[in-house]
Structure formats: structure tokens, C-alpha cells
């Protein structure tokens, strides 16, 4: 039984929301950050990079305290305004490829995360969890929702469609040419209908934001233990999420680039591959795989197709059927000697929208020796892996939509 609740969001004013909204801080290059902050005093980047004001790099808890100060300044200056009434928010994104995402921004339950009602499919790093938990405790707000997905639901879908017939509170387009729309939903009867539909759901799934979810759960545990009057209604019991139906979720693949052949010659490498895959040389034209357990490879100026010899490989669980895991267990680890996908600097990842032409140019440049392309995972695979309590290898999925910070803010 999934629990969601309305909350009093802190939001920018309609006039400047497009100037405030920002991608996650780490997704910008240094030059991009400098440019945006230099020409846009409203950017949320000014809050998360408070040292910019003093032309100084600030780190650790000192940075967190300055983030809180800069956030309070934005509120004092009227850039951010707090809602008068707890609400849900219907949110729509249309990206430059014409893909449309419709869902609801709400507060979701940390207890649901603890009880595995909210399921995950990726491992998290304990140090990052603790760091972000400390950040949340210090700054007192969260500005980027976790992306969750739920089974398609006719009642919720109809409410979203009816709400979207009204005038949107926000409508703005970012420089990446994705257009964002937001409607406030504060009718108690409608909110109750949505909540009742989520109560019928045994499970919802994290699509993107595993570390933010884990950190919010750690915050909940800490604050609950410190509060002798804990009653479950406190803001730390929840974290902000954007919930979209499974049919709206888009999963692209992450392709792999490897810097060397682990001491093997090209011929030796191909012979080892031949024991596990049927190999066909596809020549110089870019080639992409067309079905699961089928990879493309670019090596020494030529494309190859790799078809798994299934008699040599057993699928024992949902994870074994995932192409990212299959590539790791049959090639990256046993042949190329890459054990740690997260930290080995011999491997890099390119998400699917860049396709095989990027792999070709990267290998042709001499920086990499070989590249692999694969088909994207499916939502069903993601769910099956989560249901079995397993986790995908790093960079198994590139999930859309990509969310922005600073549009709705959840305060603790």
C-alpha cells in the first residue's frame, strides 16, 4: 500500500521559473556553470554553489550552511514563495524529441522505502548516502524530486487529463528545448481519490534517484530517533517525488567503451569471444543491435554483431537476462579483466541517444580500443530485478524524463 501526501511547496514565481530551474549541478561543465551564473542571477545554481558569490570554492558543511543562507535570501527577495495550502502538483514535460511525460509531484513515504513498498533496482554508495543526508539536515530542503513509476491507472490518468485542461500555473521552455508545465491540485476530494488509488498499489519503483531516496530514508531514521514526540506526520517522514505511469517511462541504454584489450591481440580477443558468441563482421557502416542478448561491437575500424551462444549460458534469475549484466559476465570481466564497473578507469559509458557513431569516433580517436552497443532494458526487466531483490550493474539504464531542480521545493 503506497502512501503519498500533499505538501506546501516552495516555488518560484511564474515570471521567473524558467530562469530559476536548473539541471543537477554535476551535469554542467565548469564553463557552463560560470556562464549561467554570470548572466542569470535567478539560477538555482547560485544556491547550490554559494561560493560563487565570493569567487571561492567552498566545500563540506561550510558549503551546506551557505546553501541554506543563499536559499533564505531567495525567499526573502521573493524569488521563492511558499504555498498556503498542502497540494499535489500535476507536472508535464515535453522534450525536444516529442516525448511526453505526465505525472504527479507529491511527498512519498520513507517508511514505504523501509518496508520495500518503494523498490529499488540499483546499488547505492554508503558514503554518498551519508553525505547527502548531512546536506539535507543542514539545508532543510530538497529541490529535486525522486523519479518513481507506478502501474498505469485509469483513475489517476483521467484526473491528470482533466487538470491539464485548465490554465497551467507554469509553462516554460529550457535551453535544452524541453517544455515544462505545472498545475496545482489542491481540491481535497480529488487529492483523496489519488491517494486511494495509490493505497491499492502494493509496489511502486524508483526509476531515478536511488541515492536521494536512500539519504532521505537515513534522515527519517535519524530524526525519528531524536524526536521523543515522533508521530509519523513530521516532514522528515516523507521525501519529494515525481510519480509517472510505467507507460510514460523511457529507458535508453548505456553503451560501453574500453581502453584496451587486456593484453590480447585483436585476433586473440576475437577467438575468446567466439567461444561465447557467434560473430559476424558487418564492415564499416554503423551497426546497432536489434534484440536482447545481441550486441554490436566496433573494433579496429569495423563493426561486428555478437549473437549469444545460449547453450553456453544459463539464465538463473532476472538479472542474468539483463544485457548489461550479460556483457559484464561474458566479456568485460572474464576476457577484458574489468571487475569493478563503477571505479575501473579503463571503461567509460555513453548513453543511447548518442548511438554507435559516437562509439566509432571514440575508438577511431585512439582513446579507446573497443566499443559495445546493446539494446535498452525494459520497464518489466527493471521491475523483475527489483522484485527479486537484485541490483543492476552501474550505468545499466539511462532514464527519461530528466528532472530540473528548483521548480518545487520540499522543506523539512
- The domain locations on the chain are 4-250+400-411, 254-396
Q: Poorest-confidence range of 148-162, 251-265, 354-368? A: 354-368
| Per-residue buried b or exposed e for 215-254, using 16+ beta carbons within 10 Å of the residue's own CB | bbbbbbeebeeeeeeeeeeebbbbbbbbbbbbebbbbbbb
Instruction: Report the distance separating Cα 71 and Cα 46, nearest Å.
Output: 9
Q: How far is CA 85 from the centre of its chain?
A: 29
> What number of other Cβ atoms are within 10 A of residue 84's Cβ?
8
Question: Could you please report the per-residue DSSP string of 351-397?
Answer: EGGGHHHHHHHHHHTTS-SEEEE-PPP-HHHHHHHHHTT--BPTT--
What is the model's pLDDT at position 60? 87
Residue 354: pLDDT band (50, 70, 90) is low
Percent of the chain with pLDDT over 70: 99
Residue 217: pLDDT band (50, 70, 90) is very high
What crossing angle do the helices spanning 126-139 and 60-76 adopt, rounded to 10°?
Answer: 40
Mean pLDDT of 187-201: 98
Q: How far is CA 121 from the centre of its chain?
A: 12
pTM of the model: 0.92
Bridge partners for 255 per DSSP: 350
Model confidence over 38-54: pLDDT tens digits? 999 999 999 999 988 87
Residue 353: pLDDT band (50, 70, 90) is low
**Closest C-alpha among 185, 197, 13 to residue 86:** 185
Mean pLDDT score of the chain, rounded to an integer? 94
What is the model's pLDDT at position 269? 98
Which CATH architecture group holds 254-396?
2-Layer Sandwich (3.30)
Residue, of 286 and 70, whose pLDDT is higher: 70
Mean pLDDT of 112-123: 95
What is the model's pLDDT at position 125? 82
Model confidence over 164-178: pLDDT tens digits? 999 999 999 998 889
Cα angle 179-103-224, degrees, rounded to a multiple of 5: 120
Does 355 score more than 80 pLDDT? Answer: no
Strand-strand pairing, 146-150 and 204-208: antiparallel
Residue 26: pLDDT band (50, 70, 90) is confident
User: Which of helix, strand or coil describes residue 202?
Assistant: coil
Model confidence over 136-173: pLDDT tens digits? 999 999 999 999 999 999 999 999 999 999 999 999 99
Model confidence over 266-323: pLDDT tens digits? 999 999 999 999 999 999 988 889 899 999 999 999 999 999 997 778 899 999 999 9
Residue 115: pLDDT band (50, 70, 90) is very high
Residue, of 392 and 30, whose pLDDT is higher: 392
Instruction: Report the distance separating Cα 282 and Cα 108, nearest Å.
Output: 49
Instruction: Report the distance separating Cα 172 and Cα 22, nearest Å.
Output: 12
Q: How far is CA 181 from the centre of its chain?
A: 20
Q: How many residues does the chain have?
A: 412
Residue, of 117 and 291, whose pLDDT is higher: 117
Amino acid at each position: 500500500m503506497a502512501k503519498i501526501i500533499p505538501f506546501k511547496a516552495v516555488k518560484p514565481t511564474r515570471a521567473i521559473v524558467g530562469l530559476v530551474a536548473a539541471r543537477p549541478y554535476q551535469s554542467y561543465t565548469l564553463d557552463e556553470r560560470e556562464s549561467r551564473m554570470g548572466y542569470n542571477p535567478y539560477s538555482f545554481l547560485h544556491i547550490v554553489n554559494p561560493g560563487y558569490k565570493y569567487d571561492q570554492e567552498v566545500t563540506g558543511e561550510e558549503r551546506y550552511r551557505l546553501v541554506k543562507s543563499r536559499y533564505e535570501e531567495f525567499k526573502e527577495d521573493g524569488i521563492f514563495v511558499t504555498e498556503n495550502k498542502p497540494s499535489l502538483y500535476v507536472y508535464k514535460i515535453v522534450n525536444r524529441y516529442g516525448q511526453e511525460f505526465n505525472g504527479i509531484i507529491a511527498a512519498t513515504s520513507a517508511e514505504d522505502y523501509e518496508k520495500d513498498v518503494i523498490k529499488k533496482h540499483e546499488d547505492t554508495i554508503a558514503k554518498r548516502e551519508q553525505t547527502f543526508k548531512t546536506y539535507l539536515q543542514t539545508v532543510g530542503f530538497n529541490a529535486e524530486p525522486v523519479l518513481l513509476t507506478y502501474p498505469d491507472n485509469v483513475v489517476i490518468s483521467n484526473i491528470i487529463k482533466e487538470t491539464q485542461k485548465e490554465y497551467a500555473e507554469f509553462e516554460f521552455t529550457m535551453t535544452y528545448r524541453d517544455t515544462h508545465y505545472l498545475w496545482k491540485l489542491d481540491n481535497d476530494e480529488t487529492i483523496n481519490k489519488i491517494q486511494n488509488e495509490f493505497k491499492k498499489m502494493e509496489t511502486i519503483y524508483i526509476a531515478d534517484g536511488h541515492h536521494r531516496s536512500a539519504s532521505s530514508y537515513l534522515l527519517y531514521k535519524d530524526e525519528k530517533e531524536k524526536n521523543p514526540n515522533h508521530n509519523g506526520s513530521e516532514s522528515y517522514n516523507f521525501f519529494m517525488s515525481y510519480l509517472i505511469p510505467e507507460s510514460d517511462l523511457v529507458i535508453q541504454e548505456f553503451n560501453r567503451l574500453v581502453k584496451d584489450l587486456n593484453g590480447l591481440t585483436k585476433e586473440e580477443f576475437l577467438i575468446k569471444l567466439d567461444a561465447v558468441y557467434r560473430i559476424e563482421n558487418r564492415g564499416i557502416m554503423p551497426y546497432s543491435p536489434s534484440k536482447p542478448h545481441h550486441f554490436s561491437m566496433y573494433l579496429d575500424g569495423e563493426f561486428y554483431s555478437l549473437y549469444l551462444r545460449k547453450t553456453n549460458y544459463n539464465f538463473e534469475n532476472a538479472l542474468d537476462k539483463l544485457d548489461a549484466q550479460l556483457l559484464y559476465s561474458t566479456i568485460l570481466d572474464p576476457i577484458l579483466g574489468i571487475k569493478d564497473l563503477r571505479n575501473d578507469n579503463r571503461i567509460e559509458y555513453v548513453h543511447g541517444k548518442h548511438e554507435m557513431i559516437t562509439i566509432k569516433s571514440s575508438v577511431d580517436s585512439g582513446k579507446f580500443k573497443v566499443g559495445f552497443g546493446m539494446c535498452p532494458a525494459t520497464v518489466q526487466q527493471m521491475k523483475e530485478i527489483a522484485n527479486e531483490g537484485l541490483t543492476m550493474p552501474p550505468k545499466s539504464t539511462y532514464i527519461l524524463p530528466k528532472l530540473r531542480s528548483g521548480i518545487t521545493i520540499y522543506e523539512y
